[in-house]
Amino acid sequence: MDATSSHQSHAVRPVFCGIIPPHLLDHLSRAESSTLSGRARRTLEHDALQRTRRRLTTVRGLAAPDGARTGSDKPQRTIYDAEHAETLPGTKVRGESDPAGQDASVNRAFAGLGATFELYFKIYGRRSIDDLGLPLDATVHYGREYDNAFWDGERMVFGDGDGELFLDFTTALDVIGHELTHGVTQYTANLEYLGQSGALNESVSDVFGSLIKQYSLKQSADQADWLIGDGLLGPDVDKGTALRSMKAPGTAYDDDVLGKDPQPATMDDYVQTSQDNGGVHINSGIPNHAFYLAATALGGNAWERAGQVWYDVLTGGELAKDAQFEDFAQLTIDAAKARYGDQGAEHEALVKAWSEVGVTNDEGQ
């Protein structure tokens, strides 16, 4: 697969992608506490409006004209402060050459953008989100008690959380990596945000969000916690560790307030629903688990072999926008074969992982 073919010259309609899934917010909107339900409804209404705006806004051609911008070995970061308003981008508070200030949210956002750039560049040779040195912008302190963080097609936006159920969204590096990876997908495969292709879109963001955290912490696949959003849940969540678990989908939380983590680990429990764009945040647990199984079977650093295969598929030009789980699985198996050979541990691990989650069988692979 040729990573240089990843740029697409046509215009796309970017999708609003928030880290807190609608099904969780919908559950909270029906809480007995008027404070909790009101806060969740406001976030849901805000996010629905943002989705509408994104559908009506078309980003100009994704590939910059020749010579218009060249990739850099260094990120170009700018952090803005919304000052609790909902107007973007807000007031500029830190540029690439500026020192750290007193605002921890600003500093964490700046560092998270840098960590994401570093993994993509040092491991996969990718220069920023678009591979052409796209500046990385982020806005912190968005809204009041806003319980989400999102990529809006142009920038990262962080809410402060409510301090009870959710903490400041800049605190979780994998969340930052997850959201910025939606940008990478936007500029490469541009997976449709619906049904299984949408679940793949979410899963790819979870995979690279986790890899960014693992790379930053210098953790092997065996050392990693494989949690998405660890440390994001607030003091009022009694039984929960994170938003999702790639190691054991469906076990991230089981709480009186948040409800039960609905993610399946295998196709036997695939969720048919019209909510959440066909369950994109729910059924993503299946390809998430396949990646975990492959990465831990291979051992070592997950960003190397398993991560390389996922990156090859995402950027190789063969992944269709409406790809289904089986399509993606076959492409990863083919990519492992192309890069490492059909007798290697990588090919075997991919075949076994997708079979274990019920997406494929291991015959004829």
Residues 209 and 162 placed together within one structural domain of the fold: no
The answer to whether residues 16 and 157 belong to one domain is yes
Residues 28 and 153 in one domain: yes
State how many domains the chain has. Answer: 2
CA distance 19 to 17: 7
Q: Is 145 a catalytic residue?
A: no
Q: Rounded to the nearest 5°, which phi and psi values hold at 50?
A: -65, -40
Look up residue 237 and give its two tokens.
């969540």
Model confidence at 67, pLDDT cuts 50, 70, 90, reads very low
Peptide bond connecting 89 to the previous residue in cis, omega within 30 degrees of 0: yes
- Residue 44 has what pLDDT? 83
Same domain for 17 and 142, yes or no, is yes
Residue 358: partners with Cβ closer than 8 Å, 6 or more residues away: 266, 267, 268, 286
pTM: 0.91
The catalytic residue among 179, 202, 346, 348 is: 179
Q: How many helices (H) and strands (E) in the chain? A: 10, 10
Task: Give bridge partners of residue 151 from the DSSP assignment.
Answer: 17, 156
In the residue annotation, 179 being an active-site residue is answered as yes
HSE at residue 58, side-chain half, CA atoms within 13 A, is: 5
> What is the per-residue pLDDT across 203-248, written as a single tens digit (0 to 9) for each?
999 999 999 999 999 999 999 999 999 999 999 999 999 999 999 9
User: Are the C-beta atoms of residues 277 and 269 closer than 8 Å to each other?
Assistant: no
Binning pLDDT at 50, 70 and 90, where does residue 89 land? Answer: very high
**From 23, 46, 141, 281, active-site residue:** 281
Last residue of a domain, one of 127, 160, 187: 187
> Is the same domain home to 222 and 348?
yes
Please give the structure tokens belonging to residue 166: 């959710």
The range of the structural domain enclosing residue 169 comes to 3-187
Residue 100 and residue 181 share a domain: yes
Same domain for 69 and 206?
no
* CA 173 – CA 177 distance, rounded (Å): 6
Residue 152 one-letter amino acid: D
Q: What is the pLDDT of residue 51?
A: 56
Last residue of a domain, one of 187, 209, 235: 187
